[in-house]
Structure formats: structure tokens, C-alpha cells
Amino acid sequence: MEDKIKKVSIVVSRGGLDGVYPGLIMANGARMDGIEANLFFTFFGLDAITKKRMGKIKIATVGNPGMHMPSLLGILPGFSAFATSMMLKTMDKIDIPPVPEFIEMVYDAGCKLYACKATVDMFKLKKEDFAPQVDSIINVGKFYEISAGGQIIFT
Amino acid sequence: MPEKQYGPVTVAVDGEGFLTDFSQWTREVAAAVAKEEGIAELTPTHWKVIEFMQKEFKENGQVPSIRKLNKSGVISTKELYDLFPGGPAKKAAKIAGMKKPEGCV
């Protein structure tokens, strides 16, 4: 156990439930084990910390082979919403919270949250567009600085 | 099965020091385990958490999650991390004489 991981910086680059949950679970799990954790949201991963979007993140039912069903079914109106609500219900039972509550939970656990400057500029977003738990908008250089001495995980 | 001596009490533990028989737990054992985990003294707030966790554990055999502790109004997530630094769910479970929590959150 000498080489215990002491610090992780996790990049969340994808949107959708399957895009944002792994990073959140890994960051929270790190804090639960006393590991320092940073979350860096970039590209569509930014949805997870954007006030307007964080409560509406869905699972993609089209072009997602992991759904184990024909994409044709997935295009039906409301199908993605239905699949999402089923999935969230199941997750709630095993105590995995919905995204907004999860963001609050990892923040309260001591994880630091950052938004990627390039994406923020591209989507024309402002600091006010993000959940209050977001520490700041930083560029890649700053991300590496913050991640120094730890492991970087890209999801 | 390894054993551990806490004062006059001997308890059966797993490889990581979690009690394997909850019935062997006493408040004195809790205080001793807490010391080993770097918590010098168990305050009334620590006890509130421990007692809630034990009640849940007795009722459904599960170690309650941090989320459950927060939602039930027992203690906020922030306070919990302050009370049991460096791994709140695992440390609290260990002090409370329960098995190691298995969940991911």
C-alpha cells in the first residue's frame, strides 16, 4: 500500500448521463477514500455544471450501442426521456443522486470543480451560467498546474 | 480470523480491522478504534452519526451511504467529512463496529 494514490484530476469531456456519471462517481469515490480530487469539465461535459442544463441530462438512445436496442426505436418521441427517467430511478435506489445533487455532494466532499475556458468561450458562457459550486473557469495550463503531483484521468 | 484486543475486550476483525461480529462492539471499543483512526475524542455529534448508522445497519443489514446520512438530516456531507477526516463512510463504519461499506457512493 506504499504507492497509494493521493490526488486525482478527472476530465469530464462528454455530455449525456453515461458521459458525466463516471467522472462524478470517480471523483466522489476519491474523496471517500481521502484522496484529493479535482473535476475539470470540458466540451459537452460542461452540461453537468451549467445551471440551465444540469437537471436535464439524458441518456442517448440513438447511436448508442450500449442501449442494446435498434436506433430506430430510440428516435421515437419521448423515448430518451423515458429511458432517462427509468435509469435515474434505478440509480436513486442505489444512492447515486441526480446530477445537480451529485455536483453538490462532490463539492461538499471537498472536490474542486473547474470549467474549461476554451469551451466556455466557444459556447459563449459566463461564470453566472454555472452552478455556485464551480470554483473558476481555467485554461489548460492552469489545469496542469492544479493537477501537479497527481494522476489525470480523462473520461 | 484475526483478533484484536481493546482494553479488556477481544474482538474478531477482518484484514483491515473492521469488526466481523457486531455483537462484540462496545462504546469503549469505538473510542479505541477512533483513536487508531486519528480521532482523539468522540463528540456527541460523532455519536449521533454512529448511532444512526447502527440503527440502519440493524434494520436492513446495510451500512448507510453518505447521501443517506445527509438526506435523513442526521449530518450534512460537509460536517461528516470534517468529523471523520480522510474517509468518512469507512471510518465511521469501522468505529461503529460494522463491516466495510461496499457501495461506490
Rounded Cα distance, B87 and A150, in Å = 18
Tens digit of pLDDT at every position of chain B (105 positions): 799 999 889 999 999 999 999 999 999 999 999 999 999 999 999 999 999 999 999 998 889 999 999 999 999 999 999 999 999 999 999 999 999 998 888
Question: B10 pairs with which residues across the strands?
Answer: B5
- Lateral strand order in the sheet of A7-12: A134-138, A112-116, A36-41, A7-12, A151-154
Closest CA to A105 of B105, B101, B89: B105
With beta carbons less than 8 A apart as the criterion, state whether A113 and A107 touch. Answer: yes
* Claim: this prediction has a pTM higher than 0.90: yes
CB B97 within 8 A of CB B30: yes
Query: Touching check for A4 and chain B: CB below 8 Å?
Result: no
pLDDT above 70 covers a percentage of chain A that reads 99
What DSSP line would sit under A8-25, residue for residue?
A: EEEEE---SHHHHHHHHH
What is the rounded average pLDDT of the residues A103-118?
A: 97
Task: Return the domain boundaries, chain A.
Answer: 7-154
Q: How far is CA B44 from CA A31, B49, B88, in A?
A: 24, 9, 16
The pLDDT of A100-127, averaged and rounded, is 97
Residues of B in contact with A24 (CB under 8 A): none
pLDDT for the residue A65:
84
Mean pLDDT of A64-81: 86
pLDDT at A2: 63
Round to whole Å and give the CA distance between A130 and A34.
27
What number of other Cβ atoms are within 10 A of residue A101's Cβ? 15
pLDDT per residue over A24-66, tens digit each? Answer: 999 999 999 999 999 999 999 999 999 999 999 999 888 888 8
A75 to each of A56, A64, A70, A78, how far by Cα in Å?
Answer: 18, 12, 9, 8
Domain segments of chain B as ranges: 3-95
The complex's ipTM works out to 0.91
Question: What pLDDT score does B61 carry?
Answer: 87
Q: In this structure, which topology does domain A7-154 adopt according to CATH?
A: Hypothetical Protein Ychn; Chain: A, (3.40.1260)
Question: 10 Å Cβ neighbour count for A105?
Answer: 23
> Is B97 in CB contact (< 8 Å) with chain A?
no
Q: How far is CA A67 from CA A12, A54, A60, A92, B65, in A?
A: 21, 22, 8, 19, 28
Q: Which residues of A touch B53 (CB under 8 A)?
A: none
- The fraction of chain A above a pLDDT of 90, given in percent, is 81
Could you tell me which residue, A39 or A69, shows the higher pLDDT? A39
Residue B31 C-alpha, separation from nearest chain A C-alpha, in angstroms = 21
**For residue A125, how many other CB atoms are within 10 A of its CB?**
16
Give the chain A residue whose CA is nearest to the CA of B68: A95
Asked whether residue A1 carries a pLDDT value surpassing 60, the answer given is no
Question: Are the Cβ atoms of B87 and A33 closer than 8 angstroms?
Answer: yes
Respond yes or no: is residue B63 known to be catalytic: no
In whole numbers, what is the pLDDT of chain A averaged over residues? 94
Lookup: cell for A107: 463539492
Tell me the pLDDT band of A68, cut-offs 50, 70 and 90: confident
Place of cell 489525470: A152
Strands B3-6, B9-12: pairing is antiparallel
**Given B1, B16, B59, B104, which residue is catalytic?**
B104
Helix (H, G, I), strand (E, B) or coil at B74: coil
Give the residue among B87, B93, B92, B94 at the shortest CA–CA distance from B45.
B92
B28-45 pLDDT, tens digit each: 999 999 999 999 999 999
